[in-house]
Chains A and B, each alone.
Chain A
């Protein structure tokens, strides 16, 4: 069993919900990323989702687009992201790290080379935003050889037939994108999301995590009541943009946000 599954199992065994935090590697500066990852874990994050900067992040809203641009200013590539994961692993052998990005940098590295190097760096899972399972065959084989979990997305527009195929292809967990829209969109209809999550959960044995639109304890808790975990992204990345000048202030603000969400999750599951 991989680090991802054993972590999620342990969270579930303690009757808690998984908290996933997303940051873009290298944002606002490559020197801060590993430190921020440790800070997230210290505040109760179970899984780290690390965005791989790309020039054309077509599924992202303005907040995360700017994060990609901030990281690219410092020439952060897939290779440097893997190096950050290696550094993180020197002090944390326990917390799963999932990369989230677009296919082209992985294609450029080559599927086998990527799987090999990601595995050596201590990467546990991969979400490729623009790679539906239909096109993922060769990459999935390379990942399987190196015990890296491919994680696919479900959307509000996904039909039941497709949902079955997506869950079939996923390992570790399935990621439900709760909104039609880009990352950081507003106006989450919590009741509708909960109904949809309950419906999807009946169709798979994999843990179901929900992302997009979760920005604080108040939005996280009701979603976590029906899902196995929540992903917080744009809310954290917003703080990156606002606190570029001060790494100290950034760490404090990110820690505070994550602590609030963790507290809300724990309270609602108590």
Chain B
């Protein structure tokens, strides 16, 4: 079905095309000043992605510094509770720094070093990508500046302090809605100004080409491991793979190695916030319009005049009006499905995983868990779902305590 929509020399994994497009999505929509830097990055990455020394260096750091491979864990009590398919958790929460973000940052820091750039910058929402960037900067002796919306700085004070301990400069962004999208704008402005000595580590599979491709490639270690681990621990292929989608890097990372396994359903879970019907959400694939923002064409939360809407989600990491262009394309060609889960459902799943499995999930990942439990109940007991547990929830404890009316610290 899907293969009919592909050209003769195209496969599901052969995208993006030469100019960075996934079907009609992606591309390179940036100001002229950045075009040369994107060309330089594309060239550097093309040279390194098959370079055995680079790959060995990356592989060694993923193993010894990040702590890969992350386990694939059968969540038996959660499975019993859901009453259907077996739920397996890909434990990205156990990585160094507590989320999948580090996979990308290690790779891009190595890229920066190969390009001779002594300074990195990053944007961050929940702070996980900022922490991962600050971490690799310390690890490789690079200077690091992280842009973060002032609203998010309030919500994620723990991670802000952590970045400072790691030696990074955290710059509050007070323009626009003061969240992740504004931090991205500000990071682009920094990059335009300091492009000679600075590499911009975009944290998700969005932005101008080649970023969606680079971040996907670096994150697809998640899916490669999960596919092999499942074959070894259970045999065969899972029936579904599930992940939360904000910008979509953890989802692309786990989906990509399964793209050509057409029996495996790929399900992305967006943030429905207060509910899709309320308009207060962050689910562009579920309820958005195609447009251009932050360097790529994709589904966006926007109004009729093409102005970008403010988004809402209890999880700062999903609170973003766009989504990676490859997800937009996978949705259109129906290779992946996208659903949305409300704040309330995600909070329920957060509590449930603590009680049933003794695992504290990130609020972002809790969106995928909420849908997984519901979905598992509709499947047979001999079926299997892998859920990407993309991060741990330590950073969310202040948010949860506030919701519960408990004063801590």
Contacts and interface: CB of A to CB of B under 8 A. Distances in A.
A188 to B, nearest CB: 13
Interface residues of B, number: 39
Interface residues of A, number: 44
B181 interface: yes
B278 interface: no
B193 interface: yes
A31 interface: no
A200 interface: no
B181 A104 contact: no
A79 B192 CA distance: 30
A57 B31 CA distance: 11
Contacts of A181: 33, 189, 192-193
B32 A104 contact: no
Contacts of B181: 56
Nearest to A156: B33
B279 to A, nearest CB: 16
B98 interface: no
B236 to A, nearest CB: 43
A177 B27 contact: no
B304 interface: yes
Contacts of A58: 31, 184-185, 188-189, 294
Interface string A34-55: 0000000000000000000011
A14 to B, nearest CB: 31
A104 B306 contact: yes
B291 interface: yes
B294 A104 contact: no
Nearest to A128: B29
A168 interface: no
A60 B291 CA distance: 20
Interface string B354-369: 0000000000000000
A175 to B, nearest CB: 9
B30 A132 contact: yes
B55 interface: no
Contacts of A104: 291-293, 300, 302, 306-308
Contacts of B19: 134
Contacts of B35: 132, 155, 157-158, 162
Given A158-B35, A181-B192, A185-B193, A56 B291 contact: no
A130 to B, nearest CB: 5
A157 B292 contact: no
B29 A158 contact: no
A46 to B, nearest CB: 23
A134 B176 contact: no
B292 A107 contact: yes
Contacts of A72: 307
Contacts of B289: 108
A91 interface: no
A180 B195 contact: yes
A154 B33 CA distance: 8
Contacts of B196: 180
A154 B36 CA distance: 11
A58 B147 CA distance: 14
Contacts of A157: 32-37, 195
B312 to A, nearest CB: 16
A61 B175 CA distance: 11
B33 A79 contact: no
B307 A153 contact: no
Nearest to A80: B305
Interface in A79-136: 79, 102-109, 129-132, 134-135
25 contacts: A55-B176, A56-B181, A56-B293, A58-B31, A58-B189, A61-B189, A69-B175, A77-B307, A78-B306, A104-B292, A108-B289, A130-B295, A134-B19, A134-B28, A155-B32, A155-B33, A155-B35, A157-B36, A159-B36, A166-B32, A177-B31, A180-B193, A180-B194, A181-B189, A182-B193
Given A77-B307, A105-B307, 5 more contacts: A58-B31, A69-B176, A104-B291, A158-B35, A180-B193
Interface of B: 19, 27-37, 175-176, 181-182, 184-185, 188-189, 192-196, 289-295, 300, 302, 304-308
Interface of A: 54-62, 65, 69, 72, 77-79, 102-109, 129-132, 134-135, 152-159, 162, 166, 177, 180-182, 185
